[in-house]
Structure 1
Amino acid sequence: MDFGRLITAMVTPFDKQQEIDWGQTAKLIDYLIEEQRSDSLVVCGTTGESPTLSDEEKLALFRFAVKQSNGRAKIIAGTGSNDTRHSVHLTKLAEEAGVDGILAVTPYYNKPSQEGLYQHFKAMAEATKLPVLLYNIPGRSVINLSVETTLRLAQIPNIVGTKDCANLEQLTVIATAAPAHFKVYSGDDSMTLATLAIGGYGIVSVSSHIIGSTMKSMIEAYLQGDVKHAAELHQQSFPMFKGLFECPNPVAVKYALGLRGLSVGGVRLPLVAPSEAEALFLQNLLNN
Structure 2
Amino acid sequence: MKGLFSALLVPFDEKGNIKEQGLRDIVRQNIEVQQVDGLYVNGSSGENFMLSTEQKKTIFQIVSEENAGKVKLIAQVGSINLDEAVELGKYATSLGYDSLSAVTPFYYKFSFEEIKHYYETIIAETNNNMIIYAIPALTGVSMDVAQFDELFQNEKIIGVKYTDGNFFMLERLRKRYPNKLIYSGFDEMLIYGVISGVDGAIGSTYNINGKRAKQIMALCHEGKVDEAYEVQHVTNDLIEKVLDLGLYQTLKEVLNQKGFDAGTCKKPMSGFDSSKIEEVKKLVADFNL
Normalised by the size of structure 1, how large is the TM-score?
0.91
CA drift at 1:59? 1.3
User: 1:229/1:24 Cα in 2 relative to 1: closer, same or farther (>3 Å)?
Assistant: same
Between the aligned partners of 1:241 and 1:132, the Cα distance in structure 2 is: 29
Q: Give, in whole Å, the separation in 2 of the partners of 1:149 and 1:260.
A: 44
Counterpart of 1:113 (choices 101, 111, 130) is 111
Q: 1:249 to 1:132 in 2, by over 3 A?
A: farther
Bigger relative contact order (CA 8 A; separation at least 6): 2
Q: Give 1:137's aligned residue.
A: 135
Q: Match of 1:31, SS?
A: helix
Q: How has the CA–CA distance of structure 1 residues 169 and 265 changed in structure 2, closer, same or farther, with 3 Å as cutoff?
A: same
Distance change in 2, residues 1:111/1:250 (3 Å): farther
SS at match of 2:141: coil
CA distance in 2, matches of 1:270, 1:280: 25
Are 1:106 and 1:145, in contact at CA under 8 Å, matched by a contact in 2?
Answer: no
The number of aligned residues is 285
Q: State whether residues 47 and 249 of structure 1, in contact with CA within 8 Å, keep that contact through their aligned partners in structure 2.
A: no
Structure 1 residues 115 and 243: alpha-carbon distance in aligned structure 2, compared to 1, 3 A threshold? farther
Flag structure 1 segments of 5+ consecutive residues without an equivalent.
none
Q: Give distance in 2, aligned partners of 1:154 and 1:281.
A: 45
Question: What's the CA shift for 1:92?
Answer: 1.2
Q: Which amino acid aligns with 1:217?
A: Q
Cα distance 1:88–1:60, how it changes in 2: closer, same or farther (>3 A)? same
The one-character-per-residue Cα deviations of 1:49-92 (angstroms, maximum 9, x if unpaired) are 11122211211221221121111111111100112232122211
The answer to whether the 8 A contact 1:136-1:165 is kept is: yes
Identity of aligned residues (%): 25
Quick check: 1:246–1:278 contact (8 Å CA) kept in 2? no
Q: Corresponding residue for 2:44?
A: 46
Q: Is the 8 A contact 1:13 1:264 kept in 2?
A: yes
Instruction: Report whether the alignment pairs 1:175 with 2:198.
Output: no
CA distance in 2, matches of 1:164, 1:20: 28
Query: Partner of 2:261 in structure 1?
Result: 263
Shift in Å, 1:277:
6.9
Q: Secondary structure at the match of 2:106?
A: coil
Change (3 A) 1:37 1:137: same
Task: Name structure 2 gaps, 5 residues minimum.
Answer: none
Matched position secondary structure for 2:158:
strand
Question: The residue matched to 1:135 in structure 2 has which SS?
Answer: strand
User: What secondary structure does 2:244 align onto?
Assistant: coil
Determine the structure 1 residue equivalent to 2:93: 95
Residues 122-154 of structure 1 show CA distances to partners (whole Å, capped at 9, x for unaligned) of: 222222232211101112112223332223212
Aligned CA RMSD, in angstroms, stands at 1.9
Please list the CA deviations of residues 6-53 of structure 1 after superposition, one character each: whole Å capped at 9, or x if unmatched: 010001112344311111111111100111011111111111011122
